[in-house]
Amino acid sequence: MKHKAALKLVKDKLPEKRYEHSVRVAETAVKMAGIFEADKDKCYLAGILHDYSKYDDLGTMYQYVTKYNLDPALLAFNSELLHGPVAATIMRFEYGIEDESIYFAISSHTSGRPQMLLIEKIIYVADYIEPDRKQPGVDKIRDLVFEEKNLDLAIYEITRMTLKSLLKKNRPIYNRTIECYNYYNMVKE
Ligand code: DGI
Ligand code: FE
Ligand code: FE
Ligand code: FE
């Protein structure tokens, strides 16, 4: 899919604010691709598409989980955790985007996972640090990325802060979120 087609797809589907977030994630991902030597086109495309299913109907999302054999553990969660895996599936099977790194980047952007691919890491982080994000600690992550250039440490810090905030709100934790935390806890330097 060309960038222009992806932009139109997302603009027609998502509310204006979410569309603008998607563009900022894509642009942040391209900037990061320059630092970490990733494919800029793929980063841009994955960034634009990552939240495509953010507001899809939950019942329809569960149908995708079943039909495409996605992780059945997702059925215990809501759209917060489902929108990535479902959007990745739609892009692969309904829009013919075959690239595996784009698939994983969209699919894992909320929970992360152990041993992410480079583009997958970039989207996971770009979603957290795009310029309009204001959560406490986000500037520390921006420093890790743009000054220290330590992507794995940035991922670790994001998973740590995400887990902390979920626990504080008594939210259920998806296994992959914890697996991601454990993995990057051990590989970070
Ligand atoms: O779609 P975005 O708002 O751009 O961001 P996102 O897809 O990264 O995250 C959506 C939400 O999902 C965010 O508020 C954090 C939450 N989340 C991440 N991991 C888990 C989770 N929620 C639950 N309940 N469990 C998790 O393991
Ligand atoms: Fe998202
Ligand atoms: Fe995220
Ligand atoms: Fe997002």
pLDDT given at position 60: 97
List ligand 1's pocket residues with C-beta within 6 A: 51, 54, 80-81, 109-111, 127, 162, 166, 171-174, 177
Residue 177 lies in a domain: no
Looking at ligand 1, which residue's alpha carbon is closest to its atom 5? 110
Task: Calculate mean pLDDT across residues 56-65.
Answer: 98
The whole-angstrom separation of Cα 136 and Cα 115 is 26
The CATH code of the domain that includes 52 is 1.10.3210.10
What CA–CA distances, in Å, run from 38 to 66, 70, 137?
A: 33, 27, 25
Please report the atom of ligand 1 found closest to the CA of residue 84. Answer: 7
Looking at ligand 1, which residue's alpha carbon is closest to its atom 9? 110
pTM over 0.90: yes
**pLDDT (tens digit per residue) in 173-187:** 999 999 999 999 999
Q: Residue 138 has what DSSP assignment?
A: H
- First CA to last CA distance, the chain: 37
pLDDT given at position 26: 98
Q: For residues 60-82, b (16+ Cβ closer than 10 Å) or e, as one string? A: ebeebbeeeebeeebeebeeebb
What CA–CA distances, in Å, run from 130 to 20, 73, 89?
A: 11, 29, 24
Task: Calculate mean pLDDT across residues 135-142.
Answer: 96
Q: How many domains does the chain have?
A: 1
Residue 25 lies in a domain: yes
Structural domain that includes position 117: 3-134
pLDDT given at position 1: 85
ipTM of the complex: 0.98
Average pLDDT of the chain, as a whole number = 97
Residue 105 lies in a domain: yes
105 CA to centre of ligand 4 in angstroms: 11
Please report the atom of ligand 1 found closest to the CA of residue 171. Answer: 24
Provide Rg for the chain, Cα atoms.
Answer: 15
Residue 68 lies in a domain: yes
DSSP three-state, residue 93: helix
Residue 56 lies in a domain: yes
Given 3-state DSSP classes, what are the helix, strand and coil percentages for the chain, each rounded to the nearest 5? 70, 0, 30
Chain-centroid distance of CA 111 in Å reads 8
Phi, psi of 110 (to 5 degrees): -90, -50
Contact 145, 154 (CB under 8 A): yes
